[in-house]
Chain A
Amino acid sequence: MPPSLNNDYPSSPDEALVGWAQKGDTEAFEELIFRHRDKIYARAMMMMRNEDEALDLSQEAWVKAWQRLHQFQGDSSFATWMTRIVINLCLDQIRRQKKMRAESIEQIEEEAGGVERQMPVEHVNPTEGLEKEELRIRIDEAMAKLTEAHRTVLVLHEFQGLEYKEIAKKVGISIGTVMSRLFYARRRMASLLQGLKRERKA
């Protein structure tokens, strides 16, 4: 379908762009991609920790979005709808990868909280007084050091805003496992952030 010639894409809200895109206007869809591509890519990057995979999955998410655009009813924001699509693609990819490789003993132990059980509680908040951007970078670095299982649950809970039971259903694990993974992920993050602060001081 030809683009709507009179549409002012850059100054139009998402809702209008979605409406035009649903009628086949690819220029409106391109504008939506331009607006949200970094967020979608970042979410994929957080899950996969691999630039090539994140780029590929983010593009795949946009293709899926185009194909399913007629299903978007506006119950959530377009950005939220898009992050759901990319997260689902990432989870599918992680499942495929898991089937292909046997998990190492260390990873299984860590998922069970082997290391985190021994960690002392961090009484001082190491994030206090840090610049927002610096803290953002530190959190990204710390998340990169989590196991895939811990990171997945943390991302789904903290950034996607999913409840324990929603995560359990999406990932295919029990609520108890979701809770223990989230608990150990947070404990490990506390330790890693404390360690990064010590490194910075040194």
Chain B
Amino acid sequence: MDEKKSLEQSLELMAHLDGVESAGRRKAVEAWLAADPAAVALRDELSWVRQAVRSHEPLGQVPDSREFYWSQIRRRIEQADAVTAAAARPSRSRFADWMAWLVPVTGVAAVTLLATLHPWQSGSATSGVTEASAMTYTSETDGVTIHWID
């Protein structure tokens, strides 16, 4: 019998032991067990290992005291709660982020546009600085007058 077929047969034997083999294969496994003492030996080995392991689950003991162990868990719970709370806190929306830079940019653009479209009045500054030239912008609709002194 080749190795692969032998392994398949052994796995079927194990499935039989665990009670999960298909109904169609049960008879084949039982026939193998009836004819081959090696199959019986393998089944017995798998069986006692399974029984021994299942009924003797290794035990463990937390190395820390009750108070210390609990304090560690409580701290981690508090940290996790803090992260959750921070994530749930309302943050500035994407719209607000856009508005934060859109408003000043729009303002500058508007001023530039108005400056381009409206006539500028040139004249001398009235501040007494005779060398300086001045420009005045007036918008009657906005009721604004801007004096620009160089």
Is A38 a contact partner of B60 (Cβ separation < 8 A)?
yes
Within 8 Å of chain B (Cβ to Cβ): is A92? no
In the complex with contacts A59-B73, A63-B76, A164-B20, A41-B11 CB distance below 8 A? no
**Interface range on chain A (Cβ under 8 Å from partner):** 35 or more
Q: How far is the CA of A137 from the CA of B52 in the complex (A)?
A: 12
Q: Which residues of A contact B38 (CB under 8 A)?
A: 121
A129 to chain B, nearest CB (A): 12
Chain A residues lying within 8 Å of B69, measured Cβ to Cβ, are: 33, 37, 59
Q: Is the CB of B15 within 8 A of A154?
A: no
Question: In the bound complex, what is the Cα–Cα distance between A60 and B77 (angstroms)?
Answer: 9
Q: State whether the Cβ of B118 lies closer than 8 Å to any Cβ in chain A.
A: no
A187 within 8 A of B: yes
- In chain A, positions 135-182 with a C-beta closer than 8 Å to chain B are 135-137, 139-140, 143, 154, 158-159, 163-164, 176, 179-180, 182
Q: Which residues of B contact A163 (CB under 8 A)?
A: 20
B2 interfacial by beta-carbon distance below 8 Å: no
Give the interface segment out of A50-58, A70-78, A100-108: A50-58
Contact B62 A189 (CB under 8 A): no
Q: Which residues of chain B (6-42) have a CB below 8 Å from chain A?
A: 7, 10-11, 14-15, 18, 20, 38, 41-42
Q: Please determine whether B20 and A158 come into contact, CB atoms closer than 8 angstroms.
A: no
Determine if B73 and A62 form an interchain contact, defined as CB atoms under 8 angstroms apart: yes
Taking CB as reference atom, which chain B residue is nearest A186?
B49
A63 touches B58 (CB 8 A): no
Partner of B14, one of A58, A67, A154, A186: A186
B33, chain A: closest CB distance, angstroms: 14
B58 lies within 8 A of A139 (CB): yes
Docked Cα-Cα span, A31 to B15, in Å, equals 41
Contact pick for A41, options B49, B62, B66, CB 8 Å? B62
Is B86 in contact with chain A by the CB < 8 A criterion?
no
Candidates B11, B15, B52, B62; contact of A37 at CB < 8 Å: B62
Q: Considering only CB atoms and an 8 Å cut-off, how many residues of chain B contact the other chain?
A: 38
Q: Give 1 or 0 for each of B83-97: 1 = CB within 8 Å of chain A CB.
A: 000000000000000
Question: Is the pair A55, B62 in contact by a Cβ cutoff of 8 Å?
Answer: yes
* Nearest opposing residue in chain A for B66, CB measure: A34
Whole-angstrom CA separation of A54 from B74 in the bound complex = 18
Residues from chain B with Cβ under 8 Å of A66 in the complex: 73, 77
| Residues of chain A with a CB closer than 8 A to B63's CB | 51, 55
Does the CB pair B20–A186 fall under 8 Å? Answer: no
- Is A91 close to B, CB under 8 A? no
Known: A63-B76, A179-B14. A38 touches B61 (CB 8 A): yes
A15 at the interface (CB under 8 A from B): no
When distances are taken between beta carbons in the complex, the residues of chain A under 8 Å from B14 are 179, 182-183, 186
Which residues of chain B from 53 to 68 have any CB-CB distance to chain A below 8 Å in the complex? Answer: 53-54, 56-64, 66
Within 8 A of B (CB), among A180-197: 180, 182-183, 186-187, 189-190, 193
Please measure, in the bound complex, the distance between the C-alpha atom of A51 and the C-alpha atom of B60, giving whole angstroms: 10
Q: 12 A-B residue contacts at CB 8 Å?
A: A30-B70, A38-B60, A41-B60, A54-B60, A59-B69, A62-B73, A63-B76, A67-B80, A121-B41, A132-B56, A183-B14, A190-B48
- Among all A-B residue pairs, the 7 with the closest Cβ atoms: A42-B60, A140-B58, A136-B56, A125-B48, A127-B52, A121-B41, A186-B49
